[in-house]
Structure 1
Amino acid sequence: MSEPAGLRERKKDRTRQLLSDTAIEMFLADGFDRVGVADIAAAAEVSKPTLFRYFASKEDLVLHRFADHQGESAGVVRDREAGDTPLQALHRHFRAGLDAHDPVTGLCDHPQVLAFHRLVFDTPSLTARVAEYAAADTEALAGALAEAPGTASGPLAHSLVAAQFIVVRQMLARRNWAELAGGRSVRQVHPEAVAAAELAFSLLSDGASSHGY
């Protein structure tokens, strides 16, 4: 008798989480380049082909954690409150992330989060894959901006504004992480992070406001 579909999916989710957690723990302990896929499979007690059924590459074992945020900015623009411009909605969303100490803003001092970010930032192949995620996010955000009433016509303007936002978000997050990694607390860094976000979005909006963004 076959298993119910829901049970199979839950088992797959548990295996996927086990593989990722095992890999990240090993990467943090020994370094990304020193740990092989076969080592991870053995530690998780699965075969190497099984691991590759869940993750297409070694990098995906780490960066699938970014998948929850893939396309998030585009969703923020599409779901924004009536009367909000796209940049106002993105600013409010980022500020809420700072207040909630969301890891994606860099303002989270949980030791495992700090170590995870260091792993990503210090590993060239992971940094390159993050750039791929950013490019996909830029494309998705540009599409959402194109749908927003009143914004400048033409795909170039949408792409330029989207790219500027994605880069700004990355720079703010990395700056926040660097401050925490240097030994400061979230409480100490939070006001500066808010001020930096205010400055960044002011610069963005001053340049883009005349085009309806």
Structure 2
Amino acid sequence: MPARRPASADESSVRAPGLRERKKQQTASRIWHAAVDLFVERGYDKVSVAEIAAAADVSKMTVFNYFGTKDDVLLAPMEEHVSDAADAIRARASGESAADALRRRLLDLIEARDPSVGLGDSPRTLQVLRLITETPVLLHRAHAFHHRSQQLLATALAEETGDAVLAEVAAAQLIGVRNAVFAEVHRRRMAGTPLDEVAATADALARDAFDLVEKGLSGYAVKA
């Protein structure tokens, strides 16, 4: 399973996992890897949870205990990031705008070639992108993930500003930037574009798109 962003030194000293937690992480990772291998080999719809369990050398009940459903097995790493945008807003420094905070967060992920934005250099990153794109149930879940991210961001903005309606408008635009960058990354990676070229394009697109949001749309697409 793709690793999450490494914690800082202070975070690591406080939250270093114990033996039991490490074993749980290892089991979850083994199930995830086994599932991806089977899905790639035979297709998502032709693989059962029982077969995933057998490949991971665990019981079927263990798979359900860790993931709940078959699609959860594949999409668990994505679900870990559902609150990233809202968390970035809540953690931003005094005087930093919402757009600046999310731009900084996205540019950092792009620079780090983070798997959460589709830029991991592991072959599994591309395999998972292809599986999601080509499997309707997984694509639907991915869309639902983006919607929940937007809702969580809107909630965070509303808590701070006291205006739920404008918070929804702002969240839609800010998440729209992120989604557009993700979609372009995925499109180019699926087309076989070299990773460094994809990352450079994503960086430029993110900067331009956030500039557009910050300036507003008053001068955008004015009909001649």
Unaligned runs of 5+ in 2: 1-17, 218-224
Tell me the amino acid that sits aligned with residue 181 of structure 2. L
| Aligned match for 1:16, one of 9, 23, 28 | 28
Tell me: CA distance 1:164–1:111, structure 2 relative to 1, closer, same or farther (3 Å): same
Contact between 2:119 and 2:195, CA under 8 Å: does it hold in 1?
yes
Q: Which residue of 2 aligns with 1:107?
A: 119
**3-state SS of the aligned residue for 1:59?**
helix
Deviation at residue 70 of structure 1 after TM alignment: 2.1
Are 2:57 and 1:45 aligned?
Answer: yes
Q: Does 1:195 align with 2:195?
A: no
One-letter code aligned to 1:105: V
Is there any run of 5+ residues in structure 1 with no aligned partner, and where? 1-5, 209-213
Give a deviation string over 1:142-171, Cα, whole Å, max 9, x none. Answer: 1211233xx5x4212111221222232122
Structure 1: distance between partners of 2:151 and 2:29 = 28
Q: 2:138 aligns to what SS in structure 1?
A: helix
For residues 121 and 88 of structure 1, do their structure 2 counterparts lie closer, same or farther at Cα, with a shift above 3 Å needed? same
In structure 2, what residue type is equivalent to 1:51? V
Alignment partner, residue 15 of structure 2: none
In 1, the alpha carbon distance for the partners of 2:196 and 2:23 equals 39
Q: Deviations over 1:173-212 (max 9, x none)?
A: 121122133222122233322221122112222228xxxx
1:158 to 2:170 alignment = no
Q: TM-score, normalised by structure 2?
A: 0.81
- Separation in 2, partners of 1:110, 1:24: 13
Matched, 1:128 2:140: yes
Length, aligned pairs only: 202
AA matched with 1:10: R
Indicate how the Cα distance of structure 1 residues 121 and 11 shifts in structure 2: closer, same or farther if over 3 A, else same. same
Classify 1:99/1:32 alpha carbon distance in 2 versus 1 (closer, same or farther; 3 Å): same
How far apart in 1 are the matches of 2:114 and 2:104?
Answer: 14
Runs of 4+ in 1 over 6 A off after TM superposition: none
Secondary structure at the aligned position of 1:69 is classed as: coil
In the alignment, what sits opposite 1:98? 110
Q: Which residue of 2 aligns with 1:76?
A: 88
Deviation at 1:47, TM superposition (A): 2.3
1:51 Cα offset (Å): 1.8
Indicate if the aligned counterparts of 1:32 and 1:123 stay in contact, CA closer than 8 A: yes
Q: What is the deviation of 1:7? A: 4.1
2:75 aligned with 1:63: yes
**Greater relative contact order structure (CA < 8 Å, 6+ sep):** 1
Partner residue of 1:117 out of 129, 150, 157: 129
| Equivalent in the alignment of 1:178 | 187
Q: TM-score normalized by structure 1?
A: 0.85
Match 1:89 to one of 90, 101, 116: 101
